[in-house]
Structure 1
């Protein structure tokens, strides 16, 4: 793995959010568990239930396919199919630092970076569209970063073809980031496979655009081009930049079935 692509990243973006429980309440809960462990001579516990994790930490597990989030436009477009797990999220400002952060009740302001995430799961198949947008205008530094990530997306779309190895595509995209000293801010794989939706997102790890995957793309495969960088708060142009296209590999190339445009020329939205 490239030395300038970090294995572990700590990012402290934004202030602490409002907590559902007081510090005293959380202390009581945790002290109670420690007391039970000490009484039974238990050195450590691993909690895997999200109910217990929420009870002891205040962190609520966020389900990927938001079963409760049906979207009117998706329903209107496909009134004759089941739409389980279909959802749309829209994030703004530093809340774009994670691809699927919980939504917030923030007001969108001119100059805000925005992320659009649409997941219409038609007949249970994982489908996704993600785009970077800006409200009214983007600062010079935001524009520079957005254009670089769009350049990576464009190059990735060109590289997806039969016979090409996943790790070779990733290496070429990493070179673009490295040339702009941005590889350290790449926060995800450069692309991934698709399939029937499940708790593991309907994906195969053997068809992810990563440095350690040597799978060759074949005709009939469905794969995403998804370049993502995240610039921490306090640096010029903070926020998450991501584009997401779906391509079907053919015998001689790839068909991009995502028609939503990307980049500054298309996605600066009037205030």
Structure 2
């Protein structure tokens, strides 16, 4: 057994050895920790660079994709601009034979008399447009496209109440007719169909003429309108002769390029 003096000497030596070894141990641990931290930082930096690269690619692609989508939508809209049921009927009359005003319904046609008139403007909404052919057709007072002739498929389908005008230098037009009736199915407001043909351009449809405050012309209907050719919802008034009068100004659409 060691005596007390010897034990103290050896114990002091062991403590000194431990103290001497601690700096090296801490240094190794610190070195390993720093190495791991650097490796992690490198990995995170690589991941960050990859993420940033992907984001930059997306930023570059998104405008192109949006442009392609817009172009596709525009092409689809352009393709549909002249597609309509009845546009061919516009060309059934020689424009040179047309006047700016006409009887759409004869004085013998049953129903309340109506005068529909207005001015056709260029797409700027201010310049009167001359030589624009307007084809109109409508139901009779009972809401039917009745008594069509065998002249063409459109004369059979559109019925007797149809006619054409051509605007003069002042852009004015006028149809003398009757107030159309609502379809027997009552799935639409009473209306008058209008189609246009500008010089040198294919024909196209514009919003129907409908009557404010009457059956079916509610907020939902208003919100569903495209306002092609301007607003088609008109106000009805009585003139001095007791006839209904309505004004429907028309603004020509900008044609697809």
What's the TM-score bracket when you normalise by the shorter of the two chains?
under 0.3
From the CA coordinates, give the structure whose radius of gyration is larger: 2
Structure with higher helix content: 2
What's the TM-score, normalizing by structure 2?
A: 0.27
